[in-house]
Amino acid sequence: MTTKPRPVTTRDLVTKKARHEKIIALTCYDALFARLLDAAGVDVLLVGDSVHQVLGGAPSTLGASLEQMIYHARMVRQGTAHALLVVDMPFLSYQVSIEDAIRNCGRVLKETGAEAVKLEGGSAMAPTVAALVARGIPVMGHLGLTPQSVHALGGYRVQGREEASAARLRDDAAALEEAGAFALVLELVPSALALEISGSLTIPTIGIGAGPGCDGQVLVLPDMLGLNEGFEPKFLKHFAHLADAVRDAVRQYGTEVRDGTYPGPEHSFD
């Protein structure tokens, strides 16, 4: 008799760090892929606001809406039985006031069945994180390249290369841990700095473009599957080349429809 694995919790991620076990995370936007990723043993499914870019074709994540994130999180929930489900809070859904953050983050958990939310920002967001945690809303932080601040940062570039910005990242990480965040995403941070920050915290770090010293890794699913052609940052590895497979399959379908070999007798009803 096969025993189903129990759902991953926020405490499990902290335990994994203590045991030096790497955390596996991927973005996910629908039930179909959620079932596949969950069965493959992914620890964390992140319903990222990257959906607005990757599936919506937008130039940034800034236009993602709360309703959009709730819609996709509900779909992912339907396909997830094991992984921890975390939802990105979109731009201006949590920055305006702590009251707004509590209301909107609580709505996300209530309406989607997700276990946690993710917020971008460091020390300035620590009071908000503390207020959410105090009300039973688990929070994952996000430091380094924070896509919702892309214009303020001057574009998508590595953060923390200068000592002043590295010091800010160290302080921000400590502030978020103190506020009660259960994990941090470190995006586009020099490897040595990410390793240092990871070693200074008791909560796990999940890197994307932050080197191997983080406690886990996350990638955007269509990117790592080779579906998002033309996007090839240094940190990205294609673990499949599905764009080619999709084109080949569709061309074959078209050929068989045109020449009459599909549908055949085996695909037809008496």
Q: Rounded distance, CA 93 to CA 88, Å?
A: 10
Same-domain check for residues 111 and 226: yes
For 135-147, b/e burial (b = at least 16 CB within 10 A) is eebbbbbbbbbbb
End-to-end alpha carbon distance in the chain? 40
2 in a domain, yes or no? no
Place of tokens 């992914």: 42
pLDDT digits (tens, 9 = 90+) for 235-264: 999 999 999 999 999 999 999 999 999 999
229 in a domain, yes or no? yes
Query: At CA 119, angle to CA 114 and CA 125, rounded to 5?
Result: 135
pLDDT digits (tens, 9 = 90+) for 171-208: 999 999 999 999 999 999 999 999 999 999 999 999 99
Same-domain check for residues 35 and 167: yes
State the total domains in the chain.
Answer: 2
Average pLDDT over residues 103-112: 98
Number of Cβ atoms within 10 Å of the Cβ of 18: 10
Residue 3 has pLDDT above 70, yes or no: no
The burial of 164, by beta-carbon neighbours within 10 Å (0-12 exposed, 13-18 middle, 19 or more buried), is given as exposed
Residue-by-residue DSSP string for 165-230: HHHHHHHHHHHHHHHT-SEEEEES--HHHHHHHHHH-SS-EEEESS-TTSSEEEE-HHHHTT-STT
Query: At CA 133, angle to CA 128 and CA 138, rounded to 5?
Result: 110
Same-domain check for residues 223 and 247: no
pLDDT at 250: 98
Q: Rounded distance, CA 30 to CA 196, Å?
A: 35
Instruction: Characterise 269 by phi-psi region: left (phi > 0), alpha (psi -120 to 50), beta (else).
Output: beta
195 in a domain, yes or no? yes
Same-domain check for residues 193 and 259: no
pLDDT digits (tens, 9 = 90+) for 29-57: 999 999 999 999 999 999 999 999 999 99
Q: What is the CATH number of the domain that holds 218?
A: 3.20.20.60
Same-domain check for residues 216 and 120: yes
The model's confidence at residue 148, banded by pLDDT at 50, 70 and 90, is very high
Same-domain check for residues 47 and 127: yes
The model's confidence at residue 1, banded by pLDDT at 50, 70 and 90, is low
4 in a domain, yes or no? no
Same-domain check for residues 222 and 248: no
Q: Which two tokens stand for residue 226?
A: 């080779």
Helix (H, G, I), strand (E, B) or coil at 88: strand
Same-domain check for residues 111 and 144: yes
82 in a domain, yes or no? yes
Same-domain check for residues 144 and 49: yes
5 in a domain, yes or no? no
174 in a domain, yes or no? yes
Q: Which of the residues 187, 232, 256, 266 is marked catalytic?
A: 187
pLDDT at 5: 76
Same-domain check for residues 195 and 218: yes
Residue 187 annotated as catalytic: yes
Same-domain check for residues 250 and 232: no
**DSSP tag of 89:** P
1 in a domain, yes or no? no
Domain limits at 187? Answer: 10-239
Residue 62 has pLDDT above 60, yes or no: yes
Same-domain check for residues 28 and 74: yes
